[in-house]
Each structure stands twice: as C-alpha cells, then as structure tokens.
Amino acid sequence: MALSPLNASACGTQIAEFGLSWIAPSNIEFHLNAASGPAVAGQFGSEGTTTLFGIPDGTLVFMVQSPNGSGAGTLASARASVTSSCTAATIAPLGLVNAASYAPISLAPDSLATVFGVNLSPTTAQAGGNPYPTTLGGVSVSLGGQACPLWYVSSGQINFAVPSNLASGRYTLAIGTASSDVLITNVSPGIFTVKGDGTGVPLASISGVLNDNTTVSLAPYQCSGTGCDIVPMVLPANLSDLYIVLYGTGIRHYGAVSASLGSFTAEVSFAGAQGQFPGLDQINLHLKGPFGGLSGLQTLQLQADGMNSNPVSLEFK
C-alpha cells in the first residue's frame, strides 16, 4: 500500500493536491489525523487512485480497511508536507508512473519509470548511453535509499530505472527536497506506444506466415513529418500464423503472463529483458489462424500475475 506524494506545493493561489494510489487486500477508506472517524471522499475498491485537495501541512492521512474497526484495519499512513515555495521541487499528484503505461499505481524492480512535477531539475539533460549515470544535470534520484540510473531530466520530467533488488513493499522516492511514497510490486506491466503516453497503437513489429510458409510484414502505424498514426493492416486470405513483437517494462519478473487481442487469445512465446537497454522488456506473441472476425479496431492487452497492462490498439481490415 502506498500514499503518494508526501509533499505538495501551495504556491500563490494554488491548492495543494495529494495523489493517493494503492493495492490492498480489501476495500479501503481514507481518514485524516486519526484511523477512526469519518471517511474522506467515501469508500474505494481494493486497487485504484484518487486525489485529495487542500490538506493542511502536517496532516496525517490513514488508509484503513472498510468498514473501519476502531483503527484495527489501518493499512498505511503518511504525513502531508505542504510548502508555499514556488521554486521548491514538487512531485505532481499521481506523477510517479510506469514509463510505458503511465499507470500510477505501482512500479516493478528492473523497470523504467517516469516522474512528473515542477522544479525537478535546474536544467534539461539526456544521458549519452548505457550505463546510465546516477547524477544527470546536477540531479539525482533515490528509491529506497538506492541511487537510480537516469537517462533524462528536466524541470517537469525525469526518466529513471528502478533498482533491481527491491522486494515488494512500500518505499520512499526522493528528488532533492521532494519525496513520494512508492509501491513496489513484482510486476507492473506496461506496453510502450507510438504516442509515448501509454495510449493508442503500440511500438510493435508484426509479421505473418502464409500457408505456403512465406512471410509477410505488416505495418501497424505509419510515420510522417507530423507524427505517427495507426494504419489498418490487411490480413492475407491465406494467413496461417500472426507474430507480434511488443516492447514494454515491468514484466520480466512475472510468475504467469497471458495476452489477448480482441476475442483472440495470444500465446506468449517470450516475455523478458530485451537486453540492449536497462529496464526494457520484449514480449513475443503468436496467434494461430484462422483469423475470421479479426477486423476493425482491436484491443491488445497483457496480464501478468493478475495485473493488467495498458490496453493498446491495432487495426485490421
């Protein structure tokens, strides 16, 4: 269970916002300053995110099981820290995300992550290559007391790699004076997309095998000077097998993994470290024909150890 972030800014007329994310064994409530008492903003399911506004500096936020049994069901707590400084580093509410899916609930060891905020770095800098430095542009990031490799820093965004040896649990991420709770889970599956925000068409290579054992390449998107857009892929009538290669993060430590494309179940023939870049995973999928009904816009999604990836889209005609 995690509460995130621990600090916020009330610069000028801005209202302090605190993003809360959690995975819990039961439905939960949030209480302020005491584990017992009325719930804040109602009751929530066992997994999700929400945002609280205008919490005063020093407020204790308790996450408790619902219904609350006189504090016996306390799952996690955190103290809110609010600054009025307009120059202090501040992590955005729900601003710590899986770098592929942009999901804010949890991160996985050996994965790629992104943090959004303000005043995170005094300059913009990008690492030259692997191995990535733990200090970039004068900025460092620590997670659970360990320095994180960085490959991009700017005032509003930092991209980093999660240390490989973190066990599942709750940790603190620190960037200068800014900090945030982080929930580490064994997996946190995300698929990289062309847009770069976890939505739309995936960064993928797709090929098919025909009945005569010849192969064809299929392009799921097309790029121009104005960007990249999804394109419908024409499936040959004599297509016997379809192969999809995806790139993601937060998947490699799975116990069980599966995939679906619309109503089709895809065989996961490989899911693991891509090898060239730290934190980058590769997922190889195989679908066996016939492919009747595979037309129009279809949703592709992975599931690892019960956690869903971001849904991405492929189009066929």
Q: What are phi and psi of 104, to 5 degrees?
A: -100, 5
Whole-number pLDDT of residue 66: 86
Q: What is the largest CA-CA distance in the chain?
A: 70
Q: Which residue type, as a one-letter code, is found at position 7?
A: N
For domain 2-185, which architecture applies?
A: Sandwich (2.60)
* CA–CA gap between residue 185 and residue 168 (Å, rounded): 5
Is residue 10 helix, strand or coil? coil
- Cβ count near 303 (within 10 Å): 17
Whole-number pLDDT of residue 71: 53
* CA–CA gap between residue 270 and residue 254 (Å, rounded): 12
Give Cα 15 to chain centroid, integer Å: 26
* CA–CA gap between residue 79 and residue 61 (Å, rounded): 6
* Whether 304 contacts 268, CB under 8 Å: no
* Whether 277 contacts 247, CB under 8 Å: no
Strand-pair category, 150-153 with 157-161 = antiparallel
* CA–CA gap between residue 109 and residue 94 (Å, rounded): 19
Whole-number pLDDT of residue 191: 98
Encoded tokens for 115: 């943090």
Q: Which residues share a beta bridge with 65?
A: 28
From the candidate CATH numbers 1.10.1660, 1.10.3720, 2.60.40, 2.60.120, the one assigned to the domain spanning 191-316 = 2.60.40
* Residue with token string 């939505």: 199
* Whether 178 contacts 117, CB under 8 Å: yes
**pLDDT by residue for the chain (317 residues), tens digit each?**
777 888 899 999 999 999 999 999 889 999 999 988 888 888 899 999 999 999 999 999 999 998 755 555 888 999 999 999 999 999 999 999 999 999 999 999 999 999 999 999 999 999 998 899 999 999 999 999 999 999 999 999 999 999 999 999 999 999 999 999 999 999 999 999 999 999 999 999 999 999 999 999 999 999 999 889 999 999 999 999 999 999 999 999 999 999 999 999 999 999 999 998 999 999 999 999 999 989 999 999 999 999 999 999 999 99
20, containing H or E segment: strand 17-23
- The residues near 75 (Cβ < 8 Å, ≥ 6 apart) are 1, 22, 24, 28, 63, 64, 65
Strand ranges (E), 57-156: 60-65, 74-79, 81-83, 90-98, 112-118, 125-126, 135-136, 139-140, 142-143, 146-147, 150-153
Whole-number pLDDT of residue 68: 59
Nearest one of 233, 306, 310, 248 to 46, comparing CA atoms: 306
Encoded tokens for 62: 């308790």
Whole-number pLDDT of residue 48: 93
CATH 2.60.40.10 occupies which residues in the chain?
2-185
Alpha helices for 244-303 (secondary structure H) = none
How many Cα atoms are found within 13 Å in the side-chain-facing hemisphere of 200? 13
